[in-house]
């Protein structure tokens, strides 16, 4: 099985590589369209700002390539957000794969306990996809983000932080997780394994 990790100007590629290696899986990190198109599975990671990331994707024609893929593809954190329609971060028009907008967390008035960005462990629930096979409801996963995708018919997992939002979304061959599956211990490893089993 060939796995392509899309290389662009957004981080966490190495941590995704290490997570796959822990599962005994080799992957190639590439921006080459043919390598990406021919891979059995594609992972679209990301840590950074939506605007600069989308500018890079467009400049290198990766935006059209990503949207045209037919094999299972997993967006992680910023990668998932860039697969949505629009992000409030830098007022960015994104890839439009998922019909959902990405908004900045709004801190509730008089609640000083919640910090933005959300950094650390939180639970996922209402799991409704084979991506979460053998992942228990209310499992803890690891987050670092200030923006989130709203709930929608494409939501396949939910998390609460200032408001309920999409922890994961799915449409056709495209999957996205807001949390860092590669840093989410046993639950994250199971989710990555489940993604690699998708047909």
In this structure, the dihedral spanned by the alpha carbons of residues 29, 30, 31 and 35, taken in order and rounded to 10 degrees, is -140
CA distance 108 to 132: 30
Which residue is catalytic, options 34, 77, 94, 148?
A: 77
3-class secondary structure, 84: coil
Which residue is catalytic, options 112, 180, 186, 193?
A: 180
DSSP classification of residue 150: P
| Phi–psi pair at 31, nearest 5 degrees | -115, 10
Bridge partners (DSSP) listed for residue 171: 174
145 is catalytic: no
* Nearest Cα residue to 147 out of 107, 97, 89, 100: 89
- CA 130 to chain centroid: 16
For 158, residues 6+ apart whose C-beta sits below 8 A from its C-beta are: 124, 125, 126, 151, 164, 165, 166, 167
CA distance 68 to 123: 32
94 is catalytic: no
148 is catalytic: no
Which residue is catalytic, options 94, 145, 148, 182?
A: 182
Residues with a known catalytic role: 77, 180, 182
């Amino acid at each position: 099985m060939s796995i392509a990790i899309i290389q662009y100007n957004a981080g966490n590629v190495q941590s995704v590589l290490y997570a796959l290696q822990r599962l005994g899986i080799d992957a190639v990190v590439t921006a080459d369209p043919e390598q990406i198109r021919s891979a059995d599975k594609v992972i679209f990671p990301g840590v950074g700002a939506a605007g600069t990331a989308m500018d890079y994707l467009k400049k290198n024609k990766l935006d059209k390539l990503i949207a045209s893929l037919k094999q299972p593809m997993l967006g992680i954190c910023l990668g998932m957000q860039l697969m949505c329609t629009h992000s409030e971060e830098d007022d960015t028009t994104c890839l439009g794969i998922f019909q959902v907008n990405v908004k900045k967390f709004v801190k509730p008035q008089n609640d000083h306990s919640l910090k933005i960005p959300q950094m650390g462990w939180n639970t996922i629930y209402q799991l409704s996809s084979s991506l979460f096979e053998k992942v228990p409801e209310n499992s803890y996963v690891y987050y670092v983000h200030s923006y989130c995708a709203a709930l929608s018919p494409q939501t396949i997992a939910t998390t609460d932080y200032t408001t309920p939002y999409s922890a994961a979304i799915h449409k056709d061959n495209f999957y996205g997780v807001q949390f860092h599956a590669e840093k989410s211990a046993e639950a994250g490893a199971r989710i990555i394994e489940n993604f690699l089993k998708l047909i």
